[in-house]
Structure 1
């Protein structure tokens, strides 16, 4: 048992040193991104609010609002439009992936592009977190490095928990791992920090890294479906992202106005808090449209929805406005439900603000675990050894015994 523990310790140390820098980057960016949505909403609070000209004032057609945005921006095409129930809320038009523009629904005035600097900052950190800001063909390499580093971090968390596990559950044995001790320096301080931070953060880090495996690797995502007794989805992209087909019109038929499609989706949920219509749909499939056309997809968020990350996907016939399919979280199979939970447990959003705070603190703990791990490794290999006549404090002695 002692031999296995020693072997595991050296593996823990060596792979930690090898992957530590990338792990530190991913942990730090995890802290930065923890409250991205809330910070952007706060920064854009003024652009999101408009004055109502008069009670019951008519709103301009969504198509016209999109055209106003298209005319004002040349850096990308509108990809979606989001409306909110409050009369004082602006309409949000998404541009490509990540950029937005706000429009006054009563006047058509383009109010601005939101907090572009802040959005750019978070976008850069997201790219750093996912693929080390690599681009083009190098992005696959960056993704492979971050995926492997996340797997290493999961191993470090589990092996660290095993190495920490006290041989005797006594207060004397547990005390150095429960809280920070004053007056420690050098190796004793680093060992105390490494153990205390690990003790409190490793359970959360195991959840964050295990859920990260599902995001990084298709086989891990498929495994979630397999262990729950479900067939993994064959379609590329997020589970359930395959387009819904509806019958193609027999004759040339104009599309329904977007306002009509949005209103139809709203009727499926009296407590809706936002409705997002993805632009597109109506594309014919197969030769001559024999396979029908793609439905228009509208995502409906509900004010009292559970889980917190859930939304209702309403597929509509773009020519008749008829609802072709309504899919909610309750309609998912157990594999997709588990996969959805893992996706949002990775960011803490599955449990709301408290979950995001816990994930952020644990990610910050990951940064310090890398720092203290590097410091302990440096002292092990490069610091001169203490002579037998030099004094040692209790924590330093325990750290050497543990190693």
Structure 2
């Protein structure tokens, strides 16, 4: 057992030293990204007046609104988002070309979103995902953050063993379960490292493991294989991925293609969206329509009664415009592999548990930053102490017998 702990200790130490700086960057940016969706929406709608212009004013039909947007825009939307509430504007997304918030009563543009807030989160995301590398270097940056995340998982798993007291008594447990005052710098760092490590170990393991699933295709495929399913086909590298209402392929915004002719005839016939949503999910909060690629393409709606990152509260409604049957896909109807993969995706941000899950993920990310900081300080002190021992051994005089 002693030898096992020694092996785990050196594995823990080496992984921390090698990946520590990158893990620190990911932890700090993870804290900054905790409430990204809420803060972005708040900044976008701050000061926006989108309520009825007069008492009893009737809202435009969703068809009329979408046709109006399509007729006056020089860009093709990528998605349209309706939010439940009489004073909530409709959001029209244009991929990398931005977005417009449109009054549901007049069709007028009442806002274009907060460029400053989005820039802050864009910079934080770039550092979190690929260390702010650009263009072709992003692939290298993503590999570095991905493998550093794997090293962090090793740190967490080995730490679960190392942080646990060898003698399981209340006194020894208390010393690692809560912060102590009046300690030297070294003892304080050791105490903080243990306390934060123990309290954050389980949620941190879930966040880091789900991060590996996001980073590596083989890890994502493994989720399906574990439950006995074949992984879904993957888009070829450099090819296009399915669009999402959150903004482009895989959550990233992308340039939109020009609309052929830019006439109202090309606008999708979307029907009465609020009524359509309420019929399927009475407590809906948002309905997102991925803009169809053609007039014959089906209408794909994502109806959500959560905060945008709770897959169990989301469903997809696909309405064919060529005669096929309407398809309704709530979370429970998905295969086991897809359900597991969706849950893993939003476990990384904590959103799978709603607001309190996000809060927990943010606190754990903050704790991870402290863990890396204290861990690197402890490693540096160990290195300096080792160098002092070597220097003393080298400088000490040799006995006469040994000299002879």
Please indicate the TM-score interval, normalised by the length of the shorter structure. 0.7 to 0.9
Change (3 A) 1:68 1:172: farther
C-alpha deviation, 1:108, in angstroms = 2.6
Q: Provide, for residues 132-187 of structure 1, a one-character-per-residue CA deviation record: whole Å limited to 9, x for no partner.
A: 12222111111111110110000000011111222221022222211111111221
- Measured on the aligned residues, the alpha-carbon RMSD in Å equals 3.0
Q: Distance in 2 between matches of 1:362 and 1:325?
A: 39
Q: Provide, for residues 246-290 of structure 1, a one-character-per-residue CA deviation record: whole Å limited to 9, x for no partner.
A: xxxxxxxx667434274684343343322111112337xxxxxxx
Alignment of 1:258 with 2:260, yes or no, is no
Pairing of 1:116-135 with structure 2 (within 5 A): 116-135=115-134
Select which of 280, 284, 298 maps to 1:272: 284
Partner of 1:299: 302
Partner of 2:375: 373
SS in 1 for 2:81: strand
| Structure 1 residue runs of 4 or more that deviate by more than 6 Å after TM superposition | 238-242, 303-306
C-alpha deviation, 1:68, in angstroms = 7.3
Q: Distance in 2 between matches of 1:98 and 1:374?
A: 42
Q: Distance in 1 between matches of 2:307 and 2:369?
A: 36
Unaligned runs of 5+ in 2: 236-240, 250-264, 390-404
CA contact (8 A) 1:277 1:299 kept: yes
CA contact (8 A) 2:70 2:76 kept: no
Partner of 2:10: 10
Change (3 A) 1:120 1:235: same
Pairing of 1:2-401 with structure 2 (within 5 A): 2-46=2-46, 49-53=49-53, 54-59=55-60, 61-67=64-70, 70=73, 77-96=76-95, 99-236=98-235, 237=241, 257-260=268-271, 262=273, 265-266=276-277, 267-282=279-294, 294-302=297-305, 310-318=313-321, 324-383=326-385
CA contact (8 A) 1:255 1:318 kept: no
Partner of 1:287: none
SS in 2 for 1:108: coil
Q: How many residues align?
A: 361
CA contact (8 A) 1:302 1:311 kept: yes
CA contact (8 A) 2:310 2:351 kept: no
CA contact (8 A) 1:69 1:101 kept: no
Change (3 A) 1:65 1:124: farther
Q: Distance in 1 between matches of 2:242 and 2:270?
A: 27
Q: Distance in 2 between matches of 1:170 and 1:102?
A: 60
SS in 2 for 1:326: strand
Q: Distance in 2 between matches of 1:342 and 1:298?
A: 22
Bigger shift: residues 33-42 or 307-316? 307-316
C-alpha deviation, 1:46, in angstroms = 3.3
Change (3 A) 1:104 1:121: same
Change (3 A) 1:133 1:184: same
CA contact (8 A) 1:215 1:343 kept: yes
SS in 2 for 1:106: coil
Change (3 A) 1:327 1:260: same
Q: Provide, for residues 336-388 of structure 1, a one-character-per-residue CA deviation record: whole Å limited to 9, x for no partner.
A: 111111111111111111111111111101001110011011111125759xx
Q: Distance in 1 between matches of 2:67 and 2:244?
A: 31
Q: Distance in 2 between matches of 1:98 and 1:371?
A: 39
Change (3 A) 1:145 1:368: same
Q: Distance in 1 between matches of 2:109 and 2:31?
A: 33
CA contact (8 A) 1:211 1:345 kept: yes
TM-score, structure 2 length as denominator? Answer: 0.81
